[in-house]
């Protein structure tokens, strides 16, 4: 059981809850890798993906997860909705709520937006990425992938490399991975390394080689140009040269270290094509596991509303 009716972030999610989500996702993975991707767990239930920012993986995997479990999935893209006519987040949320939505999945450019939504609706709310704050389902699928590939999370050394300052993926991973017993080092240009991240339990370095040396997992992050002012690094070419994941740099990691990336990938910037497509890369598996993890969460949050067992 989850202690909250919502999934707003991993900051306040316990080790036991993370464990339970990952264990449930393991069962869901069996479903999505079978020839009959259908369960009855969301029959009669409806979810709404409410996206104020673009998405491919998160939105579609939530919709698929719902459909695989026989639920009704609808999407509201802010750009083509009445948000464009000036409707507020709270009025939008209340409108979707009274349509009978059981779970709302919100992506929003403002940190804290899902928390505001959760206070104003009866539906359960899942944070699908809020500003630079958290992206909990991404970190859960990342942890699931590490556990699946490496047998566990405890004791792993994880290097997160790239635009740490603007990354909700980095924040959720630091919360989750440290709770699960991994050590995390975040690396990137000094201008993209906020000192306050250390207080979350990771170490910081602007020496990417040092971060990667001996790592079990190396996670590249996209430069989030949409969230930053100009001038935080000289050029894309120089960024790749000094901070990108290249074959030469990956040779410093432990033998067989996983290459991860939440996507979308900018090849030749934060990661080379050779590394993104290497045999150590689990970027595609992350996407598959995202469906299983989101099925697990939808199931667990719905079960809390109905007390029906798997």
Cα–Cα separations (whole angstroms), residue 105 to 87, 101, 227, 290, 298: 18, 10, 21, 14, 10
- Stretch of residues binding ligand CP (CB under 6 A), selected from 42-50, 158-166, 260-268, 276-284: 260-268
| CA-CA-CA-CA dihedral for 306, 100, 22, 202, to nearest 10 | -130
Number of chain residues interacting with ligand CP (CB under 6 A): 9
Q: What residues from 161 to 220 belong to the interface with ligand CP (CB under 6 A)?
A: none
Residue among 27 and 109 whose Cβ is closer to ligand CP: 109
Residue 263 binds ligand CP, judged by CB under 6 A: yes
Q: What residues from 126 to 145 belong to the interface with ligand CP (CB under 6 A)?
A: 129, 138
Residue among 55 and 111 whose Cβ is closer to ligand CP: 55
**Quick one: tokens of 75?**
């999407």
- Stretch of residues binding ligand CP (CB under 6 A), selected from 49-57, 65-73, 108-116, 171-179: 49-57
Residue among 116 and 287 whose Cβ is closer to ligand CP: 287
Rounded CA-CA distance 140/294 in Å is 9
- Strands of the sheet containing 217-220, edge to edge, are 203-205, 183-187, 157-161, 217-220, 258-260
**Quick one: tokens of 176?**
């989750």
Residue among 222 and 249 whose Cβ is closer to ligand CP: 222
- Closest by CA to 171, choosing from 139, 142, 148, 140, is 139
C-alpha atoms less than 13 angstroms from C-alpha of 264 in its C-beta half-sphere: 6
Write down the least CB distance from residue 55 to ligand CP, Å: 3
- Stretch of residues binding ligand CP (CB under 6 A), selected from 7-15, 39-47, 56-64, 70-78: 56-64
CB atoms within 10 A of CB 178: 17
Under 8 Å CB-to-CB from 150, ≥6 apart: which residues? 156, 216, 217, 258
Residue 57 binds ligand CP, judged by CB under 6 A: yes
Residue among 3 and 56 whose Cβ is closer to ligand CP: 56
- Stretch of residues binding ligand CP (CB under 6 A), selected from 79-87, 109-117, 258-266, 277-285: 258-266
Residue 58 binds ligand CP, judged by CB under 6 A: yes
Residue among 10 and 97 whose Cβ is closer to ligand CP: 10
Which residues sit at the interface with ligand CP, rule CB under 6 A? 55-58, 129, 138, 262-264
């Amino acid at each position: 059981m989850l202690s909250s009716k919502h999934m707003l972030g991993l900051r306040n999610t316990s080790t036991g809850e993370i464990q339970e989500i990952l264990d449930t996702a393991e069962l869901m993975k069996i479903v999505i890798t079978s020839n009959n991707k259908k369960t009855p767990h969301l029959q009669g239930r409806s979810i709404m993906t409410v996206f104020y920012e673009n998405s491919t993986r998160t939105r579609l995997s939530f919709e698929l997860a719902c459909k695989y479990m026989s639920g009704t999935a609808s999407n509201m893209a802010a750009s083509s909705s009445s948000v464009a006519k000036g409707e507020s987040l709270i009025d939008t949320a209340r409108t979707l709520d009274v349509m009978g939505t059981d779970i709302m999945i919100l992506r929003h450019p403002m940190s804290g937006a899902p928390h505001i939504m959760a206070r104003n609706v009866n539906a359960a709310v899942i944070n699908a990425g809020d500003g630079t704050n958290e992206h909990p389902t991404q970190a859960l699928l990342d942890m699931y992938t590490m556990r699946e590939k490496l047998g566990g999370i405890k004791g792993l050394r994880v290097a997160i490399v790239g635009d740490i300052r603007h990354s909700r993926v980095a924040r959720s991973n630091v919360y989750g991975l440290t709770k699960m017993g991994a050590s995390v080092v975040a690396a990137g240009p000094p201008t993209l390394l906020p000192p306050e991240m250390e207080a979350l339990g990771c170490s910081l370095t602007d020496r990417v080689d040092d971060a990667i040396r001996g790592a079990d997992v190396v996670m590249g992050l996209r430069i989030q140009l949409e969230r930053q002012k100009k001038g935080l690094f000289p050029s894309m070419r120089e960024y790749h040269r000094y901070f990108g994941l290249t074959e030469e740099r990956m040779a410093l990691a432990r033998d067989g270290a996983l290459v991860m990336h939440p996507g979308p990938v900018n090849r030749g910037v934060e990661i080379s094509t050779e590394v993104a497509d290497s045999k150590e890369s689990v970027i595609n598996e992350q996407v598959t596991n995202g469906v299983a993890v989101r099925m697990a969460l939808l199931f667990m949050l719905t079960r809390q509303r109905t007390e029906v067992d798997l």
